Chains A and B, each alone.
Chain A
Amino acid sequence: MKKYAFYPGCVARGGAPELYQSSLLVLDKLGIETIELDKAACTGAGVLQEKNQKLGDVLNIRTLAFAEDMNLPIITICSTCQGVMSQANHRVLKNPEYLEEINSELREEGLEYKGSTEVKHLLWILIEDIGLNELQKTFKKELKGFNFAPFYGCYIVRPSDALGFSENPERQHSLDMVINSTGASVTDFSGKTKCCGFPILLINQKNSLKMVSNHTGEAKDKGADAMVTPCPLCHLNLDGYQGKARKDNRGDKGDLPIIHLPQLLGLAMGIEPYRLGFARHIVSTKDFISSISPGERYSDPQNFNVAMLLGMIGFGSLIFALITAIAAFFILRAILIYEWGDNSFTHYIDTCSFENIFIIGKYICSFLEVTEKVWDWGISILTSLF
């Protein structure tokens, strides 16, 4: 049995929970034992690094040091985490002085990194540590006749010197190789190692969505049934924004399911689709799943109900707050008219001039700032409770 230190990454524990749940099932079937690195920090995803590279490197080398203490290699299920950790490792290994500088920050916590930890994405482990022949022995279902478009994204293919491509050249085609091993065909398309647009989604949405539309549209045109990605960040953008992106840029519907690598493996291993979290995709995977595993359970009602309940409570309380606010306004107004007559505060509100709007606007702004503070306090209180 192979043993690894498991670094799932923030997105697998946040916006893409189906990745985490399907990974655990698949790792189990592969006979991989894991210990989760629950003290590790976020890798910074390159964003932290652009502000403060040393901070990013300290946090990542800290994670590698935890694994070194356990004498285990790290397994990741997120390309971005993989890339960012590999880069940090690459930087300290080629510069011992820098490693010493980083270590001096870690000593307070009793850690020291000597440089021996290997960081490997599940995708690479399948090929290098398990082997495709062994992998195929775990498969129960042949996916012949299906076409999958591999979407590598950026961080698992570039910069290649940090990712060990010269020692392990098959890493360049790893996803193609794994798709082929399931019996399915690979849909080759030009966008497979390009940017998904996620890093600029919140900065330049127009450009980001053009990328989503280009990649998913091209793969669809070339006959892909679904797109497979080893990166949950690519998944978030390609799945979450595909509808809007395709409508704005191509005028068609976003209908290409974007599935995680472990979900593909899970399907081939014969795990029921509902346990792999297929109902948690924004682009519906229902037709795709019913063509692969007809008649098998697809939706996860428990999860759906919880979501709906939360949604209803949220929506209900919003409506309630709105009605209360409107009612309070009119009651206050009535009281003021009764107390002070028409020439007072109510008059001031009713004949609101431009300057008055400005003043009210300022009040709203300061209110929002207070809300942000309260949110912060609330979160810190609640998190300390749980």
Chain B
Amino acid sequence: MKAVLDVKRFDPENNSKEYFQKYELEVEESSTILDALIKIREDLDGTLALRCSCRASICGSCGMRVNGSAKLVCKTRLVDIAPEGEKVQVEPLGNMPIIKDLVVDMNPFWNKVQQVRPFMMPNNTEPEGEYIASNESMTHLVDVMNCIMCGACVSDCTALEVDESFIGPAALAKAYRFVADPRDDKSKDRLKYLNKNSGVWDCTRCYACVEVCPKGVAPMERIMKMRDLAIEEGFKNTSGYRHTKSFVNSVGKSGRLDEARLALTSVGFFNVFGLIDLAFVGLKALVKGKLPPILPHKARESENIKKIVNKIERGKG
């Protein structure tokens, strides 16, 4: 079948600018994008730089952006992306500096993984035989352990795009792997660290990492779990905690979201600058007639909702 690849080229050593180069070639029906890229490098253009190794989605080397979203190109068949031989855009991963063409510098990625101390830290001395952990306590970690560090989630993370200090989905998923491991004794310290700025609360919950992960790690869901665990450990002095708590209270009270109150409580009643800032926004909204109602709308028969919220929240402890 015919394949048309529009590949982003960049060679800083020769001081070139970024540009797209179009390659047309014949490939097998079963070809992956990686097969096509290797064919380009071998038959058409030896200057094209790309990183790959196992060709079986195990090594995590060939993460790239295909038509704007990150993928393992060895796992992506051309026929699924462009059945009619449409043009396929291939770019290097995002949120990382480009070394050449499709090869990115993974150092920022690894630095962040190291930042979360990705190793077991038990308090006790080493046991004679092996650490014993029950099946149930480990099986839910299997998906996180599947991570092959390909960088797809980091590439498409929308929070990282505006703030490079954010720890990011891959490293946070790795952190969860140890936070939730029963053999690790430093969970509380880990959560304390992750509860600070650039940690779990800076995730925007946009699902980009869940969507692009080729291994089903679902980093965002792990981050959400760690928010809850941090609250359970008693780290409550965050806007994030106040926001969540206020949200649950509001739904419990009226069945609906009381936006005005949510904003007030999240900013915090003692955060004077935050409140002044909010007052300006509120005033603008008031003048335009879009201030949320001061008396929140109630759902009909909201007592039933209240009952459910109380029961399930209490059941959780």
**B304 surroundings in chain A (CB, below 8 A):** 39, 109
1/0 per position for A362-378, CB-CB distance to B under 8 A? 00010011001000000
Report Cα–Cα, A308/B283, bound state, in Å: 10
Interface centre among A49, A208, A383 (most CB of B within 10 A): A383
CA distance A280 to B287 in the complex (A): 9
B312 contacts A38, C-beta separation under 8 Å:
no
Q: In the assembled complex, how far is the CB of residue A106 from the closest CB belonging to chain B, in whole angstroms?
A: 8
The prevalent SS among residues of A at the interface is: helix
CB 8 Å contact bits of A1-44 with B (1 = contact, 0 = none): 00000000011011111100000000000000000001111101
- CB-defined contacts of B256 to chain A, threshold 8 Å: 10, 13-14, 41-42
Q: Is the CB of B289 within 8 A of A280?
A: yes
CA distance A40 to B298 in the complex (A): 10
User: Cβ of A71 < 8 Å from any Cβ of B?
Assistant: no
Indicate if A93 sits at the interface (CB-CB under 8 A).
no
Q: Are A210 and B290 in contact (CB under 8 A)?
A: no
Check B287–A307 contact: CB distance below 8 A: yes
CB distance from A134 to the nearest CB of B (A): 28
Q: Which of A191-199, A261-269, A352-360 contacts B (4 or more CB under 8 A)?
A: A191-199
- Smallest distance from the beta carbon of B270 to chain A beta carbons, Å? 7
Q: Is A311 close to B, CB under 8 A?
A: yes
Could you say which residues of chain B place their CB within 8 Å of the CB of A45? 247, 257
Flag if B289 contacts A279 (CB, 8 Å): yes
Q: With A41-B299, A210-B163, A311-B286 as known contacts, state yes or no: A202 contacts B313, CB within 8 Å.
A: no
Tally of contact residues, B, Cβ under 8 A: 74
- The CA-CA distance from A93 to B263 in the complex, in Å, is 35
A51 at interface, CB cutoff 8 A: yes
A39 touches B201 (CB 8 A): no
Query: How large, as a class, is the contact surface on chain A?
Result: 35 or more
Segment with Cβ contacts to A, from B46-54, B139-147, B154-162: B154-162
Q: Tell me if A340 counts as interface (CB < 8 A to partner B).
A: no
Known pairs A39-B304, A199-B204, A307-B291; list 9 more (Cβ under 8 Å): A14-B256, A50-B244, A51-B247, A55-B316, A203-B240, A210-B163, A300-B289, A304-B287, A368-B269
B-side residues, CB < 8 A to A, are 68, 158-159, 161-163, 166, 197, 201-208, 210-211, 224, 227-228, 231, 238-240, 243-245, 247-248, 250-251, 253-259, 262-263, 266-267, 269-270, 281, 283-293, 295-302, 304-305, 307-309, 311-313, 316
Where the two chains meet, the residues of A that have a C-beta atom closer than 8 Å to any C-beta of B are 10-11, 13-18, 38-42, 44-52, 54-55, 58-59, 62, 105, 108-109, 154-155, 158-160, 190, 194-195, 197, 199-200, 202-204, 206-208, 210-211, 214, 240-241, 279-282, 300, 303-304, 306-308, 310-311, 314, 365, 368-369, 372, 379-380, 382-383, 386
